[in-house]
Chains A and B, each alone.
Chain A
Amino acid sequence: MSLEQKELTLNMGPQHPSTHGVLRVIVTLDGERVVKAVPVIGYLHTGIEKTMESKLYYKALPCTDRMDYLAPMSNNLGYCLAVEKLMEIEVPEKVKWARVCLAELTRIKSHLVWLGTHALDLGAMSMLLFTFRDREMIVDVYEACGGQRMMTSYIRIGGLSHELPPDFEKKVRRVIKEIPAKLNDYEDLLTKNEIFINRTRNVAVISAEDAINYGLSGPMLRGSGVKHDLRKANPYSGYENFDFEVPVGKKGDAYDRYLLRLEEIRQSLRIIEQALDGMPEGPYRAHVPGVVLPPKEDVLYKMESLIFHFKIITEGFKSPKGAVYQGIESPKGELGFYISSDGSNKPNRIRVRPPSFVNLASLPKLTEGGLFSDVVCAIGSIDIVLGEVDR
């Protein structure tokens, strides 16, 4: 007697706790081995790119918060840099430093959530509680700056929405002081944990060549040993003034990416410290009449500012014809904004190059041939946010 053997097709998701949103993966199995994995996306499609095209430039900003909702400041920064490039606005030096500081806080915050959820997927429940507790410190900084914990909209075209809050430095210093000790705790919990090592080492491996061919970016690319970071390769917002290392992995497996992200948090802390120490004095918004909103203190005192205030809010500003692309190193990889303008006050076309979407495309490569339970680990180690994948 012989047992009949055939492949089994299994639907993972769309509602599955390890898919970090609504991702569906059609997995074809041969026993416990994955033969084929096809990610199906689009369950969280909100038409953000199209919505942004129907809005004035400054009104499209809150849409960017809602793409990668774990790293709102990075998205704000990318969009604002793109519009500033289009409009040829030079922002004050202080704004640049503050933005770097906030973008790096965002990187830490995003990596902390990643660490918590990834470890939770692999069965380490307490990690999620610890990382969410520590993330709270950074969320508090956000709330003090922009007034909201996730959808900050703090970085605006031509500067910031408010002056940095008075207790900004105190709060950020607290982050710098406390996070390294917490990182040591995480290392104690996971780095030498036999269960964690078994679940992640030599799992979801991608070679450097494949990583480049798939167009991966961020920790996914660097985990395979390719030293490419837009902050070094194509500095924006004054990153050339900061001293930091770009950590790389060796094997390109999930464990390497875990170590790499922890190291990135440490490097981010270094950048934040430099940014705080060297923060220059100056205005928090560029003075570009007719394009950048004048500060409220001027609106209530000067006639010209009030007129510009009315004009910008009702009509927006006209952009020159042309197209720009601005890529930034978001926590998940290269986040790019392509804006094509036809000379009106609304963007003609906005296209976002989302790191999560491109990185997710490598899921079949990461999982095929491996065990079924490693699909969970692979999805986790890519660090996707479905809001950004589907936009």
Chain B
Amino acid sequence: MNEVLKAVGNVFLKMPLGFVVTLRHFFKKPVTLDYPYKKKPMTPRYRGKHYLERYDDSTERCVCCGLCAAACPADAIYMEPEENEKGERRAKIYEINLLRCIFCGFCEEACPEEAIFLGQDYEFSDVNRNAFIYTKEEMLVKHPRKDNPFKRLYRRVRKVHGVTDKIS
């Protein structure tokens, strides 16, 4: 009998507490986003689609050293080197297979030239599997930018090691 009373008490006294919790949400702002129209800003370290950086004189930073391909746990990067008109080494073919890529960011970490970065873009669906093999042309930024990750990194390097002389 006691058990039954307790159960009845639970149903009529305790369960409405739960309904109150649910009801309170009628008067709160929704936490969801109207996704395709409104987007959540990603953090600066977000690991999205890769891109390749340029120097200020718009030559490519990548020298095709192959360290990113060596660091890649998924073996998603393929590259072949060549020389540009000034005799400098650069990539002739630079491909990332985004279907294999696991977005671990090891390539960005390995790159000694600060050429490859994982950007903020996470929307790259396609209907064609071949479209996921990103070539160098697709990944290179169009123009050198004022504020890019390697400049931020250089500022940090100068701060950490107390470098004061100007870079030419």
Binding site for B on A (CB under 8 A): 55, 59-63, 126, 133, 136, 140, 143-148, 151, 153, 161-162, 165, 185, 188-190, 192-194, 197, 293, 296-297, 299-301, 306, 309-310, 313-314
Contact = CB atoms under 8 A, between A and B. Distances in A.
B5 to A, nearest CB: 12
A142 B154 CA distance: 25
B167 interface: no
Contacts of B96: none
Contacts of B82: none
Contact of A185 (B21, B71, B73, B157): B21
Contacts of B163: 301
Interface string B92-121: 000000000011111001101010001000
A144 B43 contact: yes
B70 A188 contact: no
Contacts of B18: 188-190, 193
B71 A59 contact: yes
B67 A188 contact: no
Contacts of A309: 110, 112
Contact of A147 (B10, B47, B110, B154): B47
B71 A62 contact: no
Nearest to B102: A62
Contact of B31 (A63, A133, A190, A299): A133
A47 B80 CA distance: 31
Contacts of A296: 109, 153, 157
A143 B109 contact: no
A329 B105 CA distance: 27
A185 B22 CA distance: 9
B141 interface: no
B102 A313 contact: no
B99 to A, nearest CB: 16
Contact of B104 (A153, A162, A197, A310): A153
Contacts of A126: 22
B21 A151 contact: no
Given A147-B105, A314-B67, 8 more contacts: A148-B47, A189-B21, A189-B22, A192-B17, A193-B10, A194-B7, A297-B157, A297-B161
A193 B109 CA distance: 50
A161 B11 contact: no
Given A161-B109, A297-B161, A147 B46 contact: yes
A170 to B, nearest CB: 13
Nearest to A163: B156
Interface in B14-28: 14-15, 17-18, 20-22
A300 B31 contact: no
B54 to A, nearest CB: 18
A192 B118 contact: no
Nearest to B73: A59
Nearest to B159: A297
Contact of B20 (A144, A147, A188): A188
B46 A143 contact: yes
B14 A143 contact: no
Given A55-B73, A153-B104, A297-B157, A188 B21 contact: yes
Nearest to A299: B112
Contacts of A162: 45
A192 B10 contact: yes
Nearest to B161: A301
A8 to B, nearest CB: 32
Contacts of B131: none
Contacts of B127: none
Contact of B43 (A136, A147, A301): A147
Contacts of B20: 188
A148 B46 contact: yes
27 contacts: A55-B73, A59-B73, A59-B106, A62-B102, A63-B73, A126-B22, A133-B31, A136-B31, A143-B42, A143-B45, A143-B46, A145-B45, A147-B105, A148-B47, A161-B105, A162-B45, A188-B17, A189-B21, A192-B17, A193-B10, A193-B18, A299-B112, A301-B157, A301-B160, A301-B161, A313-B67, A313-B71
Contact of B112 (A185, A188, A189, A310): A310
A85 B153 CA distance: 32
B154 A300 contact: yes
A147 B67 contact: no
A7 B21 CA distance: 44
A151 B74 CA distance: 14
Contacts of B15: 192-194
A145 B10 CA distance: 44
A293 B109 contact: yes
A306 B157 CA distance: 14
Contacts of A192: 10, 14-15, 17
Contacts of B31: 133, 136
Nearest to B6: A194
Contacts of A189: 17-18, 21-22
